[in-house]
């Protein structure tokens, strides 16, 4: 049988991922639940790092060269509601771009375990 399409392919490869991340960041900046957490952030850097990270997680030919998830979020006070809001924005973005449900779910399954590091980051030391 044919090999399963990678999540990377279903996201539209490099170009699709870069567009997805751009759409996601626009959506996030429009969401009052989490937009305040992104004030003052270098969005150009975030766009490239996040694209690279998602590409690698989706099985694409990328090497993530950014910070680990604890260090990246150590100065951002993120709670579980913030995390869920970001996931909601990601799902809406993928849905709007016509990403197949199976690929959405496979990507979310890769990201879910990172909640521990992202939400716990600003409380590091107390974990
Ligand atoms: C699985 C979920 C998440 C992933 C995979 C993720 C991934 C990333 C990556 C790759 C970076 C860039 C790191 C670097 O510059 O080296 C980053 C930065 C950032 N993330 Fe996340 N993130 C997640 C969840 C969240 C959530 C829930 C929030 C807030 C609602 C958030 C807010 C931020 C902010 C504000 C930055 C920029 C920090 C700065 O440059 O000062 N992230 N994230």
ipTM at complex level: 0.98
d(CA 88, CA 66): 24
Domain that holds residue 49: 7-123
Q: Which atom of ligand 1 has the smallest separation from the CA of 42?
A: 40
Q: pLDDT per residue over 28-63, tens digit each?
A: 999 999 999 999 999 999 999 999 999 999 999 999
* Domain contains 1: no
Residue owning the nearest CA to atom 40 of ligand 1: 41
d(CA 127, CA 121): 9
* Domain contains 43: yes
Confidence of residue 5 (pLDDT cuts 50, 70, 90): confident
Number of domains comprising the chain:
1
State the CATH number of the domain containing residue 98.
Answer: 1.10.490.10
Q: Which atom of ligand 1 has the smallest separation from the CA of 66?
A: 16
* Domain contains 112: yes
């Amino acid at each position: 049988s044919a090999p399963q399409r990678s999540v990377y392919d279903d996201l539209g490869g490099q170009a699709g991922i870069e567009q997805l991340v751009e759409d996601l960041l626009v959506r996030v900046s429009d969401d009052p639940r989490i937009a305040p957490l992104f004030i003052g952030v270098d969005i150009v850097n975030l766009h490239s790092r996040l694209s690279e990270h998602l590409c690698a997680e989706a099985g694409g030919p990328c090497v993530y060269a950014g910070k680990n998830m604890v260090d990246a979020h150590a100065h951002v006070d993120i709670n579980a509601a913030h995390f869920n809001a970001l996931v909601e924005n990601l799902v809406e973005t993928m849905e709007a771009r016509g990403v197949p449900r199976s690929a959405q779910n496979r990507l979310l399954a890769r990201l879910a375990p990172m909640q521990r590091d992202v939400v716990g980051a600003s409380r590091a030391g107390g974990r």
